[in-house]
Amino acid sequence: MENSWSHKEAKRCKDNPLALRVYSSQLLGREPDLVLHGGGNTSVKTTVRNFFGEEEMILYIKGSGWDLGTIEAAGFAPVKLDILKRMAQLKKLSDSAMVKGQRAAMIDPNAPTPSVEAILHAIIPYAFVDHTHADSVVTITNTLDGERRIREVYGDRVLIVPYVMPGFILARKIYEMTRDLDWSKYDGMILLNHGIFTFADTARKSYAQMIRLVSMAEDYLKRRGAVVKIKKQKSQVDLLTLAAIRWAVARHKGSALLASLKILDKAVSFSNLRNIDSIATRGPLTPDHVIRTKPTPVILKENPVEDIQRFVEKYKKYFKQYAHGQWTMLDPAPRWAVWPGHGLISFGANVQDVQIVSDITDHTIKAIQQAEILGGWKVLSEKDIFEMEYWELEQAKLKKGGKTPLFQGKVALVTGAASGIGKACVLSLHAKGAVVVALDINREVERIFTQKGIVPTVCDVTKKDQIRKAIEAMIQRFGGLDIVVSNAGIFLASENIAQIKTATWEKSLQVNLSSHQLLLQCAIPYLELGLDPTVIVIGSKNVPAPGPGVAAYSVAKAGLTQLARVAALELAPKGIRVNVVHPNQVFDTAIWTPEVLQKRAEHYGISVAEYKTNNLLKVEITSQDVAEMVCALAGPVFLKTTGAQIPIDGGNDRVV
């Protein structure tokens, strides 16, 4: 592992201990082989003058909820060192009392809650303390004779601590182990099945020590041939089964979720290992991963849906065995799956969660294979893993964040997404928690949507193979399809029937009608496996109240409405709802150029302003109004409505 310390960068910290602490914490946090997603913690001890003018020793410790890679000074909680040291002398202390006590000992009540390892950091008599869950170190300890191997790597230069629960129990154990210790004899501390600590008087030394010790573990793995060789592997992609897997996992979880299939060589080759049933189900790489990944993945075989059912039953048993009637069971659904021949699946409520699971499993599968080469992957007992999974302080990490968004875990597809109603639908569905695949023939779509959770895709919806490809990419990435907003449309120049050019007529039918049938045809097999699946077709006020001069448009939209009605009939037995919205003209779409607008207004002999609000309520309808209606139709209020045509037109005397 490379030492990334830069004297130039460090110089900017001007010898300020907290600034240096921030700098080297970020260096550690940016190395995924050291810490992943909020793992690890760091601290610095320094004197601070209080407002009475007295000097106090303060431990600045990583606040919970902060990530080392992006931490700032505000992410460190300032806690009175003497109080933490006195807490270490207590024989017993519950973790919740410990957290309360630590918060009460902070000199800034607005700082984040100190890491649960604050006491442990306090009793290490060095200014800078670094703690990571380095893959290489943990991998070596997660073997049949891990402790012996650690001795082989480090000799007597590290203090070896057998596994105990993090928090007060761990701090107390280390307090007892080190009361009469000559710390200068040690370069670091290895926590079996957990991680590594280094310490020094300067940020640079403590960091360098971490890199040096971790590199020694990496070299050891190399020397022992514990290098994972990945062969080229082809995934047997089976997207319909993937959608069925997502459906089954969501049912057990009790809420919608994403299921992302990873078909990289390393994923497929892991899934194909001969003894996968055994090695993949022994437990997580480090115990704190359990809140993200559950103790084990589900292994999918001939009948994935039944395999998931079996996983759930096993989880319930595991819970019953260790909970002793004390806890409330978390949802029993798996968080990742090993699918031999296909790859790995990561489940999560949103893109961020899926990414976390995916990153953790990447590191886990590598460690498992390395440890197997070293003679056998061995992790903590099931009981230890359970205690971590149901540890109140770990659970608190997951509970953060407010209300669950309406469409969290849902997958939506919107056509004609680059402007107007389509664009507004993409943004509204995304704002309400859905991941959205945004199709448009206009390449601009890729520039318009750069948010996480929106996948802009250039697609000509009049070409079936392009639609199919877009949907297949979506299923592989998110595992399913729940909401289709069939919106793509064009409004061609006004022409009376006697003058309509054949090209105008055909183009309108192709885009405004036929393309929607192609989309439905490609989407239906996946919608059948969707979660509260629904199709929303964007019709037009022109359907119930046509005007002269736009036959090509009106006829296609009328046909589209009829298509939706038949779809409602055909798809109801599968639980798929199909509804139509008939918007009045929205003038913020690409098709309403000032010229078109002027021409239509002139046609009726009124001003453009009058034309825009030409309805009973005298209001202008915007793309956003339509998008809100689409979201309502996709949501719970309309869960029992299908085949409906909803006007959003300010009221029209030819319709009411």
Chain residues binding Zn ion by CB under 5 A are 195
Coil/strand/helix, residue 301 = coil
Q: What is the DSSP string of 505-546?
A: HHHHHIIIIIHHHHHHHHHHHHHTTSSS-EEEEE--TTTTS-
Q: Least distance in Å: CB of 198 to Zn ion?
A: 13
Nearer to Zn ion, 218 or 394 (CB): 394
Residue with the CB atom nearest Zn ion in the bound state = 195
Q: How far is the CB of 398 from Zn ion (least distance, A)?
A: 17
Torsion of CA 454, 455, 457, 462, to 10 degrees: -70
Distance CA 437, CA 630 (A): 16
- Say how far apart CA 541 and CA 236 lie, in whole Å: 46
User: What does each C-alpha distance from 177 to 88, 230, 587 come to in angstroms?
Assistant: 12, 42, 74
Closer of 133 and 423 to Zn ion (Cβ):
133
Least distance to Zn ion from the beta carbon of 209, Å? Answer: 17
Nearer to Zn ion, 101 or 195 (CB): 195
To the nearest whole angstrom, how small is the minimum distance from the Cβ of residue 132 to Zn ion?
8
Residues 6+ apart with CB under 8 A from 222: none
- CB-nearer residue toward Zn ion: 26 or 622: 26
Tokens 């949501």 -> residue = 635
DSSP-derived secondary structure for 560-626 = HHHHHHHHHHHHGGGT-EEEEEEEPPPTTSTT--HHHHHHHHHHHTS-HHHHHT-STT-----HHHH
* Nearest distance from C-beta of residue 284 to Zn ion, angstroms: 13
Phi, psi of 534 (to 5 degrees): -155, 145
* Cβ distance to Zn ion smaller for residue 113 or 457: 113
In degrees and rounded to multiples of 5, residue 525 shows phi and psi of -55, -30
Characterise 517 by phi-psi region: left (phi > 0), alpha (psi -120 to 50), beta (else): alpha
Shortest distance in whole angstroms from residue 133 CB to Zn ion: 6
Of 117 and 625, nearer to Zn ion (C-beta) is 117
* Structure-block tokens of residue 282: 């022994």
Residue 132 or 361 with smaller CB distance to Zn ion: 132
Minimum distance from residue 359 beta carbon to Zn ion (Å): 17
Tokens representing 153 are: 């790597």
Distance between CA atoms of residues 69 and 5, nearest Å:
14
Least distance between Zn ion and beta carbon 197 (Å): 9
> In terms of CB distance, is 388 or 551 closer to Zn ion?
388
Contact 258, 479 (CB under 8 A): yes
Q: What is the nearest approach in angstroms of Zn ion to the Cβ of residue 170?
A: 9
- Cβ contact 471:526 at 8 Å: yes
Q: Would you call 70 exposed, middle or buried from its count of C-beta atoms within 10 A (0-12, 13-18, 19+)?
A: exposed
Q: Output the smallest distance, CB 166 to Zn ion, in A.
A: 6
| Tokens found for residue 263 | 């078909």
Q: For 363, phi and psi rounded to 5 degrees?
A: -70, -35
In terms of CB distance, is 166 or 304 closer to Zn ion?
166
**How far apart are CB 162 and Zn ion at their closest, in Å?**
15
- Nearer of residues 171 and 459 to Zn ion, judged by Cβ: 171
- What's the closest the beta carbon of residue 390 comes to Zn ion, in angstroms? 18
The DSSP symbol for 114 reads B
Q: CB–CB of 224/374 below 8 Å? A: yes
- Rounded distance between C-alpha atoms, residue 92 and residue 16, angstroms: 36
Cβ 344 to Zn ion shortest distance, Å: 25
Distance (Å, whole) CA 180 – CA 656:
88
- Give the residue with the Cβ less far from Zn ion, 116 or 448: 116
Q: Could you tell me the smallest distance in angstroms from the CB atom of residue 194 to Zn ion?
A: 6
Q: What DSSP element (H or E) covers 437?
A: strand 435-440
Structure tokens at 149: 């191997």
Residue 455 is encoded by which pair of tokens? Answer: 């996948």
Q: Report the chain's terminal Cα–Cα distance, integer Å.
A: 72
For the CB of residue 391, give the shortest distance to Zn ion in the complex, in Å.
12
Residue nearer to Zn ion on the CB measure, 195 or 533 = 195
User: Partners of 347 in the beta sheet?
Assistant: 259
Strand partners, 55: 49
- In the complex with Zn ion, the residue whose CB is nearer, 167 or 420, is 167
Work out the angle between the directed axes of helices 464-478 and 239-253 (0-180°, nearest 10): 40
Cα-based distances in Å from 545 to 170, 491, 550, 583, 651: 74, 16, 12, 11, 11
Nearer to Zn ion, 210 or 338 (CB): 210
Nearer to Zn ion, 331 or 392 (CB): 392
